[in-house]
Structure 1
Amino acid sequence: MGLNKLEQDLKRDLQGVASDLKWSAVELLRIAERLSLAGNEADAQAVLKMCAVFHDGEDRLVGYADEVRDQRITRAKTDS
C-alpha cells in the first residue's frame, strides 16, 4: 500500500529539512575552518559543536522520513 498525499508531503518535508541541515553544517564547517586559520580556535570549536548538532538532527529527520516511507509514522487529515 502506498503513501497518501499527506504522508508523501510529510516525507518530502522531513527530507527537505534534513537536506537544509546538511547544507548548513557544510557551510558552518567552512566558517569554522576560517575561524581556526584566523587564530580564533574557541569560536571555531563552538561552530564545530553546532555542526555536530545539525548532523544529529539531520540523521533523526532522515530516520523519521524512513519511518513515514515504511508507514510506521502516518498522517491523516483531521476534521479541525
Structure 2
Amino acid sequence: MTLTKPSQDLKRYLQGIASDLKWSAVELMRIAERLSLARNEADAQAVLRMCTVLHADEDRLAGYADEVGAGIVRGKTE
C-alpha cells in the first residue's frame, strides 16, 4: 500500500523525533556517568530515570511511525 504524502511526512517526523529522543538519552547517560564519577549518585540516578522515560517514549514513537507505515488509522475518541 502506498502512503499519501501527509502520511509519509508524519512517519518521517515521528521517526525523527524518536531519533532525537534516543540521542538525548545517550547524552544524558554520559552526563549520569560523569555525575557518578564525581560521587553525585543521587543526581546520577535521577538522570538515569530520565533516560528510562526517554527510551520508552522513543520506542512508543517508533511504534507509531510503524503504524503509519502500515496504514493504520486511528479515529478520535469521544
Q: Tell me which interval the TM-score lies in, with the shorter structure as reference length.
A: over 0.9
Structure 2 residue 41 is the aligned partner of structure 1 residue 41: yes
Structure 2 residue 67 is the aligned partner of structure 1 residue 73: no
% same residue: 73
Q: How many residues align?
A: 74
Alignment correspondent of 1:62: 62
Aligned residue type for 2:35? L
Alignment correspondent of 2:25: 25
Q: Secondary structure at the match of 1:14?
A: helix
TM-score, normalised by the number of residues in structure 2: 0.92
- Cα distance in 2 for partners of 1:45, 1:16 equals 27
Tell me how far 1:73 sits from its aligned partner: 2.8
TM-score, normalised by the number of residues in structure 1: 0.90
- Cα distance in 2 for partners of 1:73, 1:32 equals 39
- Cα distance in 1 for partners of 2:73, 2:56 equals 20
User: CA deviation digits over 1:16-75, x for unaligned, max 9?
Assistant: 00000000000000000000000000000000000000000000000000000000137x
Tell me, which stretches of 5 or more residues in structure 2 are unaligned? none
Alignment correspondent of 1:77: none
